[in-house]
Structure 1
């Protein structure tokens, strides 16, 4: 049985072509499902939704730059109106499949480079926030804790959950350490427990330089493509569960 972690909802990026979705889903509160930008198609979305329904997990759209070659992890220079259209189509595609499965879209969370860029770029953040505000007003928007995007979303009055990452290292400005650098992705479950412990007990993030930055967040992410994702989730549930 799943245990609740306090104070975070646990989310994970799924439907991304990994073979562990069925093992990870029972340990989650919410799942961000790839909807065609960096990966994903109708079948993969349906498969993920059916798993989520089986285990009572909330589901959300996980749109991205349209970049399957780089898994959505490289910035793309796209004219803003076109980017608006690209992201909207991904979310509407996901929502339509949800409706066919008699499920509701709980949230929207951008993926990869789109997420990271929107965290600090006001025009890109505005595109995402405007999409939620205009087309999906009842949907929760997941955004980085203490980011420009979070501040803009709060000012716009949309429902949000501020997010932190259990298995990623942070710079002092609360951006994520680039994946090309050592220790960007945390794969040692005990190291993750220590990392998460600061967030849970002290409401702080310990950065790669050893500094402690205050945070407020409601959801915490473990990456589904982390080779240690299953063990990490089990350890988080066991260590912080109640």
Structure 2
């Protein structure tokens, strides 16, 4: 289990520093923050602001690098050379690490964003590039990645600690990948549906996938997308549920 300062039975994370209006409020409810560091969103000012807020809220701080594609918010596959990607990822993660170092904060983990997250979870080539970058910066950094994906075992074999992540606000396909956002029902926007998925994850019960299968996931952390318009509502409900688990 991933330890966290609020004593929840599972880590609760959100993607922040992306220009959303609810970052400060979300940080009161979550236990890990994945902070955009310039690839798809974020700059020096937003990183400093978000790290300061995360420090005050005593949450784990993670870098949230992506393909260098601000135009598409990092959510489209990108044709890029290995060297260009390695350089970009190194710069992104290191830029947040430098902010953390300057503020007396610890960079705890790395969670890739968007298309890079989805592709690296199943591509050994991209996964190894990501692992190489993390180990070059700090091999003690943990990798937060899609639960049950091939990258989980690959990263562990290469010596990284892994945080397996599941989602409160996204549906899955049978191979444990996230259903594409353009697929009907892929993004959960209803409080009751989000809570139902969280309850299933907590109880280790199988999830119904959008392609008609049952999928059982073992997760160390549950994610809420900070740019989901229901993110704050979801976070309030989930954190209240996790607090009840801790108390009883």
| TM class by smaller structure | over 0.9
User: Aligned partners of 1:167, 1:5: CA distance in 2, in Å?
Assistant: 19
Equivalent in the alignment of 2:78: 76
State yes or no: 1:227 paired with 2:229.
Answer: yes
Cα deviations by residue, 1:71-121 (Å, 9 ceiling, x for unpaired): 000000111122111101101111011111111101000000000010111
Task: Indicate which of 31, 37, 62 corresponds to 2:64.
Answer: 62
Task: Indicate which of 5, 13, 22 corresponds to 2:8.
Answer: 5
Shift of 1:5: 3.3
**TM-score, normalised to structure 2's length?**
0.93
Cα deviations by residue, 1:123-159 (Å, 9 ceiling, x for unpaired): 1000011122232111111011111111101111211
Cα deviations by residue, 1:41-94 (Å, 9 ceiling, x for unpaired): 000001101111111111111001011111000000111122111101101111
**TM-score, normalised to structure 1's length?**
0.95
Cα deviations by residue, 1:172-207 (Å, 9 ceiling, x for unpaired): 111111111222111111101111111110253331
CA-based RMSD of the aligned residues comes to 1.3
Further displaced range: 59-68 or 148-157: 148-157
Equivalent in the alignment of 2:188: 186
User: Aligned partners of 2:109, 2:157: CA distance in 1, in Å?
Assistant: 18
Equivalent in the alignment of 2:163: 161
Task: Indicate which of 86, 94, 97 corresponds to 1:95.
Answer: 97
State yes or no: 1:23 paired with 2:25.
Answer: yes
Shift of 1:210: 4.7
Q: Secondary structure at the match of 1:208?
A: coil
User: Aligned partners of 1:64, 1:93: CA distance in 2, in Å?
Assistant: 13
Q: Which runs of 5+ in 2 are unaligned?
A: none
Shift of 1:234: 0.8
Q: Is the 8 A contact 2:108 2:141 kept in 1?
A: yes
User: Aligned partners of 1:228, 1:57: CA distance in 2, in Å?
Assistant: 21
